């Protein structure tokens, strides 16, 4: 019995946190090396960059393309790939390739990372995740490299294509250009390639696997093979992309999109809607967006991608369940229904918990960051800075990487706060809470009393 306890002294949630900590620290020390930098970098800045890469966020305190050497950029790329899929997912695959089997802990970790439900097809899912990832990133890299070849030598074009393809699929948002992808605002090939990579990496590996199986020969069984979860996340993602593009087009039509051809306006609004949920690339100057656009993007970043993906946020399924719950309550219905299916009460409770915890965490971090970055300066003297700080916090929590230009000017304490925010956002508030609160709760039921509401 004792040996069993020793064998499982860490659960899946704790192993996930521990693995990301090791990955971040390893990346940090590699980025500090002089061979990785063209100019010296502080420990905090290296830690910030490593955390941003491993947590596939994209916030940067130094310019990736000009500050880091080829070695430093390669370290960042490896951190993005390992962080996007999960270091323990790679470890489990490696063990399976060597031994031909996986441990119970390995199954728990894959379940925690990719599905959050019992896995009956672990081997098939693992193979599909890596084969699909390599295939999509390779195709994306080829298309992007061909586009870059019109401006750069072949070798650099191939490297640029690979870097931005991996960064887009893993929803990291790291770019090798100082202004992200603003130079390609009207380039349809570049925009649609990046959007396809971002959506593929943000829809969730299980959902991607199911759609892939359906496309490859299970069309007749679509109704039974495509799970309820896959339908919810796919429809939610489609609605968010469409609504986001329309809203941003309206808000920025006479502002940052003014003077552009109609096609470029539509393309820019669509691209920013896709990337705002979790990817972090931008083809418009974020510092010059209207306040209404910034606040709307905050909502998109808060929702984020889908569960079991490379993205962050509370996830599309969580938002869908919460909205469905509010709709049901407004119509005095006891059950929460989506697509003529009843959502279990424990799922609704979990969605509310994640949403509330995330809002509370963001509010607390924003308050602390406001104090460290603004101090005792009056609201009138610091007008506009609060929205930028809130934008920065939600961007870090949603592992998005968009910024109005505030990141590089943060104080040391401010950078450390954002580092913690990125870490919590990547692993998910529920994973952190589960890892910390390992003690079993005692279920007690007290006498019932009513309280006035509203």
As averages over each run of 10 residues, the pLDDT of the chain (454 residues) reads 44 72 92 91 94 91 92 94 71 53 55 54 70 89 94 94 94 91 93 94 80 66 66 91 95 93 94 91 92 94 85 88 92 86 87 90 94 82 84 93 89 94 82 54 72 73
pLDDT the model gives residue 429? 65
Residue 181: per-residue pLDDT: 92
Convert the pLDDT of each residue in 85-119 to its tens digit.
Answer: 765 565 555 555 544 555 555 555 555 555 555 55
Q: Determine the pLDDT at residue 107.
A: 57
* Among candidate residues 90, 147, 123, 28, the one with its CA nearest the CA of residue 415: 28
Centre a 10 Å sphere on the Cβ of residue 77 and count the other Cβ atoms it contains: 20
Regarding pTM above 0.85, the answer is yes
- Give which of 171, 113, 115, 114 is closest to 140, Cα–Cα: 171
Dist. CA 295–CA 160, nearest whole Å:
32
pLDDT tens digits along 157-177: 999 999 999 999 999 989 999
- Residue 68 has what pLDDT? 94
Using H for helix, E for strand and C for coil, what is the string for the chain?
A: CHHHHHHCCCCHHHHHHHHHHHHHHHHHHHHHCHHHECCCCCHHHHHHHHHHHHCCCCCCCCCHHHHECHHHHHHHHHHHHHHHHCHHHHHHHHHHHHHCCCCHHHHHHHHHHHHCCCCCCHHHHHHHHHHHHHHHHHHHHHHHHHHHCCCCCHHHHHHHHHHHHHHHHCCCCCCCCCCCCHHHCCCHHHHHHHHHHHHHHHCCHHHHHHHHHHHCCCHHHHHHHCCHHHHHHHHHHHHHHHHHHHHHHHHHCCCCCCCCCHHHHHHHHHHHHHHHCCCCCCCCCHHHCCHHHHHHHHHHHHHCCCCCCCCCCCCHHHHHHHHHHHHHHHCCCCCEEECCEEECHHHHHHHHHHHHHHHHHHHHHHHHHHHHHHCCCCCCCCCCHHHHHHHHHHHHHCCCCCCCCCHHHCCHHHHHHHHHHHHHHHHCHHHHHHHHCCCCCCCCCCCCCCCCCC
Q: What is the pLDDT of residue 108?
A: 56
Alpha carbon of residue 162 to chain centroid: 20
d(CA 435, CA 17): 8
* pLDDT, position 16: 72
Give CA–CA dist 70/36, Å, rounded.
7
């Amino acid at each position: 019995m004792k040996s069993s306890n020793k064998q499982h002294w860490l659960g899946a949630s704790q192993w996930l946190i521990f693995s990301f900590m090791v990955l971040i620290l390893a990346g940090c020390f590699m980025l500090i090396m002089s061979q990785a930098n063209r100019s010296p970098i502080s420990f905090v800045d290296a830690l910030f960059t490593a955390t941003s890469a491993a947590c596939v966020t994209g916030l940067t305190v130094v310019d990736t393309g000009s500050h880091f050497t080829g070695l430093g950029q390669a370290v960042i790329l490896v951190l993005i790939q390992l962080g996007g899929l999960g270091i323990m997912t790679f470890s489990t695959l490696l063990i399976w390739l060597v031994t031909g089997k996986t441990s119970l802990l390995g199954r728990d970790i894959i379940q925690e990372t990719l599905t959050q439900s019992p896995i009956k097809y672990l081997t098939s899912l693992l193979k599909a995740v890596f084969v699909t990832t390599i295939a999509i990133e390779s195709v994306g890299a080829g298309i992007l490299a061909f586009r870059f070849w019109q401006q750069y030598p072949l070798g650099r074009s191939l490297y640029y294509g690979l870097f931005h393809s991996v960064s887009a699929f893993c929803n990291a948002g790291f770019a090798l250009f100082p202004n992200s992808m603003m130079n390609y605002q009207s380039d349809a090939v570049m925009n649609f390639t990046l959007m396809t990579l971002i959506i593929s990496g943000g829809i969730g590996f299980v959902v991607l696997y199911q759609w892939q199986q359906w496309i490859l020969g299970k069309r007749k069984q679509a109704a039974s093979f495509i799970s309820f979860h896959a339908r919810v996340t796919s429809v939610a993602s489609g609605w968010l992309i469409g609504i986001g593009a329309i809203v941003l087009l309206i808000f920025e039509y006479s502002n940052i999109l003014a003077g552009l051809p109609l096609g470029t306006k539509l393309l820019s609004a669509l691209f920013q809607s896709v990337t705002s949920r979790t990817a972090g690339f931008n083809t418009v100057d974020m510092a010059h967006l209207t306040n209404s656009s910034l606040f709307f993007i905050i909502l998109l970043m808060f929702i984020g991608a889908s569960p079991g993906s490379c993205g962050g946020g509370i996830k599309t399924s969580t938002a869908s369940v919460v909205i469905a719950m509010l709709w049901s309550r407004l119509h005095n219905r006891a059950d929460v229904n989506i697509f003529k299916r009843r959502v279990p009460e424990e799922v609704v409770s979990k969605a509310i918990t994640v949403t509330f915890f995330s809002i509370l965490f963001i509010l607390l971090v924003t308050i602390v960051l406001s104090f460290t970055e603004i101090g005792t300066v009056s609201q009138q003297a610091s007008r506009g800075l609060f929205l930028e700080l809130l934008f920065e916090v939600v961007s870090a929590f949603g592992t998005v990487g968009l910024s109005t230009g505030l990141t590089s000017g943060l104080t040391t304490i401010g950078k450390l706060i954002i580092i913690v925010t990125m870490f919590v956002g990547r692993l998910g508030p529920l994973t952190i809470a589960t890892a910390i609160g390992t003690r079993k709760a005692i279920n007690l039921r007290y006498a019932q009393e009513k309280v006035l509401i509203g």
